[in-house]
Amino acid sequence: MYNRKGSAESEMTPAASARKFIKKPSTYHLTIATELPENTNCLASSDDGTYLSLGHSGGFSVWHASTLSSESVWLQDKLEITSIHMTRISETAYLLGTIDDMGVARVFVYNLEGIFPFSVINLLDDINKRSVCLSFEISKGGEHGAIIMRCNSEIWLEIYYFPIQDWLRELKDPKISANMKWSAAVRVNRVNPSTAATATEFPTIMSHFLVLDETSEPPRQCTPHFLLRCGHSCEKNKAKPGSPHAVCFWWNGSYNLLYLPLSKTPKAKHDPEPCPLVLWPNAAEIICSAVSRCTRFIALGLSNDLLCVWDRLSGSPLSISGVSTDSAFLRLQFVDYWPACHDNTQALIAGEIHLVTLCESGAVHVISTGRGAATRTEQLSPRPKDCGDLPTVIASVSFLQGLSLSVHRNGKMFLQDVVNTATVCVLNLPAHHQLAPPSNPIYSLNVNQRILFIRADQQPIPGTSSLDDHHQSQLLMLRFDEHDAIKPYIVSYPESPWQQKTSVITGEDACNLYLQQRALSMDERHKAITQTWKRLRCATTT
């Protein structure tokens, strides 16, 4: 992904060799692992792969991912957990963020001693003034949370700092009790759409292109992404490896991608709410976005069928191109793919990247683009003939080079080679089982153990009522590294090559990288300009 095309062709990887000989896709069957608690609404694997957390009626539980045995449970009457996230914060402790069916967000810590409730974000007695949590994302390492809140017609973004080190120290107190007062989670920022619209601190050159977000309708949603440090050593910046240092976000109906540095200290009550920086203004509304796993690249799908990809390392757009599809963008997803790099300098040069886009029609396309190169669009799967074939999940699998997991409403599942637009294998459910719910499958990818977990229900037996034929949900699983067709694609390195570079990237370095990439893409850009002039001549002569 990050070196030149020539170096990629000079060394054929096992995965590349396997792709050349794909004929008929293999078929693999998911196996029944165990029964799930009643109304299991969400699953999440810890980032180290050790545990699986399950949200269900009455609370949530933490299971060991290898044995699928329940390690601890947190229960509360008349409550259902509908969303759950889990990240490791120490060798033996994990932070969990949950949302329940009443829209209340909570923060927990799990360790070998059990589950400890540390903070309730938005619990109020007056239901008419209660803010409802719409989404809750925890950064890797657990220091920050991005929470979308709504109260009546108002919606806003809140950024929290979680005092992880204080909580870990308090957990060692031998006098821990149910009424223990923990250090408070700190709200460090609140951003309203109106606040975001007044953002003024951005590079002067960008001010000439800033599009004011003027709309009569309030936004319905906000989409945030945590960003890692890009090209700076963690030691110099006193940041943990893998810890984010900023969040970018956009509002529905907005033209601008906004940027907010993360903080650990709350603002004083008399201080005004901080304005975010405008990271990138656009000529049309943003309708979907994606950030690569290393957060170097940010992709934006716009309402005028433009795809914009920004390279944060060079500080400049990687590609802005029109994409020809049969309908508007619905979702974007980066796919992990990079050839072997021979040195760190090569790794820093952005080459071709691949995105999967799901369109409103249900068709799935692969978009391949790069600096100075023409954008290619290929169809990965056509527009479905009926609603049962509509894709509901398009997910990159970080430990499978160049592969994407596709799950459809009717239960069909595929692993697809995005680079070569081929289906590697078909994943089948056990007989008489269906995904639950079909429109929003409940699944989790365990990266370290290379396992897919997904919920399924037994199909009703014909001739019986749903009351007579009640079955518990079951947890299905597939171990990717046990299947021959998948093995050639498995990669063991957790980071992209450029992230492994330890030296500091200064502003001068970034400028040199940009000029180097421009020089390398000169031939491609010259061809593109020539073709454009040819089309213009043809248009004027006709």
Whether the pLDDT of residue 1 is over 70: the answer is: no
Residue 509 lies in a domain: yes
Q: To the nearest whole percent, how much of the chain has pLDDT over 70? A: 72
Residue 121 lies in a domain: no
> Would you say residue 121 has pLDDT above 70?
yes
Tens of pLDDT, residue by residue over 422-447, are: 999 999 999 989 998 888 999 999 99
pLDDT tens per residue, range 7-19: 333 344 445 545 4
Residue 535 lies in a domain: yes
Tens-place pLDDT, residues 406-427? 999 999 999 999 988 899 999 9
pLDDT tops 80 at residue 220 = no
Report pLDDT for 201.
46
Domain that holds residue 5: 1-35+322-431+469-542
Mean pLDDT computed over every residue of the chain: 81
Closest CA to 31 of 68, 82, 56, 84: 68
Per the structure, how many domains does the chain have?
1
* Rounded Cα distance, 175 and 173, in Å: 5
Question: Residue 51: inside a domain, yes or no?
Answer: no
Whether residue 287 contacts residue 272, with contact meaning beta carbons closer than 8 Å, is answered with no
**Residue 308 maps to a domain:** no
Q: Determine which of 152-161, 298-307, 349-358 has the lowest per-residue pLDDT on average.
A: 349-358
**What single string gives the DSSP state of each residue in 429-453?**
PPTTEEESSTTS--EEEETTTTEEE
Q: Please tell me the predicted confidence (pLDDT) of residue 504.
A: 47
Q: With contact defined as beta carbons under 8 Å apart, do 212 and 197 qualify?
A: yes
pLDDT of residue 471: 61
Give the model's pLDDT for residue 316: 75
For residue 276, name the pLDDT band (cuts at 50, 70, 90). confident
Any domain includes 90? no
Residue 238 is predicted with a pLDDT of: 47
Alpha-carbon distance of 17 to 22, in angstroms, equals 9
Whole-angstrom distance, CA of residue 468 vs CA of residue 388: 27
302 has a pLDDT exceeding 90: yes
Q: Is the pLDDT of residue 169 over 50?
A: yes
pLDDT above 60 for 61: yes
* Residue pLDDT, tens place only, 440-466: 999 999 999 999 999 999 887 666 555
Does any domain span residue 172? no
- Least confident piece of the model among 30-44, 184-198, 483-497: 483-497
Confidence category of residue 493, pLDDT binned at 50, 70, 90: low
Judge whether 16 lies within some domain: yes
Are 30 and 429 in contact by the 8 Å Cβ rule? The answer is: yes
